Amino acid sequence: MSSTGEESVTAAGNSTAELTATPVTAVKKADWSTHYWDAKKVANLITSSSDLVTLQTTEEGGRKFSVHKALLCHYSPYFNSALNGNFSEAKDGLHPLAINEQVVTRFIGWLYTRNSFCSTLPEDRPSASSLYIFADRYDVLALRRDCLNMLSSLTRRNIITSYTSVVNAYGNLPESSPYLRALEQTYICKWTPDLDSIGDQDATRATAPSNFLAAVMVGKARRNGSGDHRPGCCCYNVCRFHEHESDEEREASKPSPF
C-alpha cells in the first residue's frame, strides 16, 4: 500500500500486492571428496558399514580380495554402479577383474592407506602406468591423479619411465588420455641418450609408439628453440593433467603431498 492508502502499481500494470518474494534456494556445496584420497574420509567409510565385496583376478588361480563396499564405491563410480545396480556382481558380491594381481594389490593398498602406495612403489613394478590404466578402466579419478603425481615425483628424482611402460600405456589408454601427455612431457624434460643404456632401454626403444617418439622430438626441439637448455629440469606442471573441472575444484581437492 502507498502512503496515500492506495495500492501502488508497477510500470507493467501489475499490483505490487500480488507480488511475492521468490524464496532463496541454498546452493548445495559440491562434494569433491571422491577426487582425492583423504584419511578421515576413508576411516569414516570403513567404520560406517561392515559390508564387504570380493574382487577376484581372472588369472589362472586368481586371488580374491575383500574390500569395504562403501569405500570402493565412494572412489569408483564404475563399482558403485556395478555393485549397487542390477548386475550379477551386485547379487553375489563377487566382481571379476581382468587385471594383473600385483596391480590389484597396489590398488587395494592405495585405497586403504595411500602411504604404502607412495612409499613402496618401485619405479616400474608395477609401474604408475599400470595403475593409471586400472584407474582409467574402473573410473577412479583420485588414483589417476595420484599416479600422475607419482610419475612427476619419479621424474623429479631423475627416474624416467621405461619404454615398456610407455608401450603399455599407449596400448591401453585412449589417445586423448592426460597420462600420455604427461609421459611425453617426462621424456621431453628428462631424456638424454645415456639413459637408453640403462637396463633394457636400448633394446626396447624400437617398440616405443611412433606418435610418442614424434611428440618427444617435437617437444625437445621447441624447448631447445626457446633457449631453455637446463639439464634435467622438470618443465611441466602436473596439475594440468589432473582433469580439474574448475579452479574451485582444484583448490578443494588438493591431496597431501607424497
- Domains present along the chain, CATH in parentheses: 33-252 (3.30.710.10)
Q: What is the DSSP letter of 30?
A: P
Residue 257 confidence (pLDDT): 64
> Residue 80's CB: how many other CB atoms inside 10 A?
17
d(CA 134, CA 143): 9
d(CA 152, CA 189): 11
Residue entry with cell 569405500: 71
Residue 230 confidence (pLDDT): 56
Residue 4 confidence (pLDDT): 44
pLDDT along the chain (258 residues), means of 10: 43 47 52 90 95 89 91 95 71 76 91 69 62 95 92 83 92 96 91 82 88 93 70 66 87 72
Starting at the edge strand found earlier in the chain, the sheet holding 94-97 runs: 64-68, 52-57, 94-97
Q: What is the DSSP letter of 243?
A: -
List, in sequence order, every residue forming a beta bridge with 54; answer none if it has no partner. 66, 94
Question: Helices (H) and strands (E) in the chain — how many of each?
Answer: 13, 3
Query: With contact defined as beta carbons under 8 Å apart, do 154 and 118 qualify?
Result: no
Q: Name the pTM for this structure.
A: 0.80
Residue 16 confidence (pLDDT): 46
> Residue 38's CB: how many other CB atoms inside 10 A?
17
d(CA 161, CA 178): 16
d(CA 136, CA 117): 17
Residue 228 confidence (pLDDT): 58
